Amino acid sequence: MSLLNEYISRKLSGVELEAELLRLIAEYNKLRGTYLFVFSAAIGKPIPSVPIEQADFYVFHDLLSNKKDLHKKVDVYLETPGGSGETAEEIVRFLHNNFETVSFVVSGEAKSAGTIIVLSGDEILMTETGSLGPIDAQVKIGRSIISAYDYIEWVNEKRSEAENKGELNPFDATMVAQITPGELSGVLHALKYAEDLVVEWLVKYKFKQWHVTETRQLPVTEEMKKRRALEIAGELTNHSKWRLHGRSIKRSDLEDIGLMIKKVEDNPKLSELVYRIQTVCRLLFDTTATFKIFATKDTKIFRRAVPAGIPIKLPAPSKPDVAEIEQKCPQCGTVHKLYAKFSPNPKIDQDLKNKGFKPFPKDSKIICRCGFEIELSGIRNQIEVNLGRKIII
């Protein structure tokens, strides 16, 4: 049976999946003799905070800063679409300043800024399904976050078109007219910044134990390390080779350009644990409102999306005794009719139950018939703040 089918057949709740994740992390630590930190994001969920952002660094710091005296080695299971390069730099410097050995485990996608982070590892562990992406920077242009490389490529394309034709079509001309020299310079600097970080970290960390060449056993100098790092960075910034910003670069591709990658499948026990961690994280993303996971064997922080615009019906009085809520399941569309009461009056329960409503759950969660766990803590907070009254559970 596949791991996914196994977990689905067990019908674990969100709370049980969270407990299973912490159990797997503890087993991983015993096997590897290290301290595993899981940082996984729900790639594909249309939530602005899915990419790496500054708030993520503070969670890294909070959960790991008190572990440096207890553990010398840290492994980071990383899955992310990318995000802030500046935050990536802060995370990497924090990890290396606090642990003697920093390794990264990739079984899903670690793209863009995620790739930059992974390349700082003393050791990189990848499964067959794991992938990195071309080195790039994410920049904010107007209201959008876009690839710095794609932006520069578009600008260069329009420049060539203008030189060859002597003009641009009205739409492109309008777009180009909005570009400022400072904006263009900032994008170029962002690209160079990402490349410089990779070169620095490869030399300082990944090549730290590279003392002799593999074939001729010659001494490896700092100049040789830097030259190799520049070659690797050059390959990974060669978007004409990889074609797409989101292209998956597998471990065989990385080995071809000179990076040593540890194959997780070489250790069957390690392989099963890593694939189980990946499966549990994805089930949490699929069956709950969770979109970002931070977890160690000791603790966990789950960021959840709060449904917006939930229909809430209030009676006429300025301080009502009850609020009626219609919560639609994001997965199957089933509407759940709930009520939140602010008075201990038992008649409220009787009247609302007769109308087909259920009381607001004590744990602020409901499990839909499709299996999706709906998080209601944001709705509860919205109601209590707006009315200035506490819901009676």
- Give the chain's domains with CATH numbers: 3-133+248-304 (3.90.226), 312-387 (no CATH)
CA–CA distance, 289 with 15 (Å, rounded to integer): 12
Q: Is 317 exposed, middle or buried (0-12, 13-18, 19+ CB in 10 A)?
A: exposed
CA–CA distance, 10 with 12 (Å, rounded to integer): 6
* 259 phi/psi in degrees, rounded to 5: -100, 135
CA–CA distance, 357 with 325 (Å, rounded to integer): 9
Q: What is the pLDDT of residue 130?
A: 96
CA–CA distance, 207 with 229 (Å, rounded to integer): 9
Q: Is 210 exposed, middle or buried (0-12, 13-18, 19+ CB in 10 A)?
A: middle
Model pLDDT for residues 182-223, shown as the tens digit of each residue:
666 666 666 777 888 889 998 999 888 877 777 677 787 888
Q: Residue 153, CB half-sphere, CA atoms under 13 Å: how many?
A: 13
pTM: 0.78
Sequence-ordered alpha helix ranges (H) in the chain = 3-10, 14-32, 54-64, 85-98, 113-118, 148-165, 170-177, 181-201, 222-236, 239-242, 251-256, 268-287, 346-354, 377-387
Helix-then-strand count for the chain, H and E: 14, 17
Q: What is the pLDDT of residue 210?
A: 78
Q: Residue 357, CB half-sphere, CA atoms under 13 Å: how many?
A: 21
Model pLDDT for residues 90-143, shown as the tens digit of each residue:
999 999 999 999 999 999 999 989 999 999 999 999 999 999 988 866 666 666
Output b/e per residue, 367-387; b: 16+ Cβ within 10 A. bbeebbbbbbebbbebbeeeb
CB 136 within 8 A of CB 194: yes
- CA-only gyration radius of the chain, Å: 25
Tokens of 98: 């606090």
Q: What is the pLDDT of residue 176?
A: 63
CA–CA distance, 283 with 16 (Å, rounded to integer): 11
CA–CA distance, 84 with 71 (Å, rounded to integer): 28
Tokens 């999706």 appear where? 372
Angle between helices 222-236 and 181-201 (to 10 degrees): 130
Residue 22 has pLDDT above 90, yes or no: yes
CA–CA distance, 277 with 76 (Å, rounded to integer): 12
Higher-scoring residue by pLDDT: 258, 262? 262
Tokens of 107: 């079984």
Q: Which residues contact 92 (CB under 8 A, 6 or more apart)?
A: 102, 116, 117, 120, 197, 201
Kindly indicate the confidence band of residue 146, based on its pLDDT and cuts at 50, 70 and 90.
low
Model pLDDT for residues 294-329, shown as the tens digit of each residue:
999 999 999 988 665 566 665 656 678 888 888 888
Model pLDDT for residues 226-254, shown as the tens digit of each residue:
888 888 888 887 766 655 555 689 999 99
Q: What is the pLDDT of residue 376?
A: 86
Residue 76 CA: distances (Å) to CA of 9, 22, 112, 264, 366: 29, 14, 17, 14, 32
Tell me whether strands 335-341 and 262-263 are parallel, antiparallel or unpaired. unpaired
Kindly indicate the confidence band of residue 288, based on its pLDDT and cuts at 50, 70 and 90.
confident
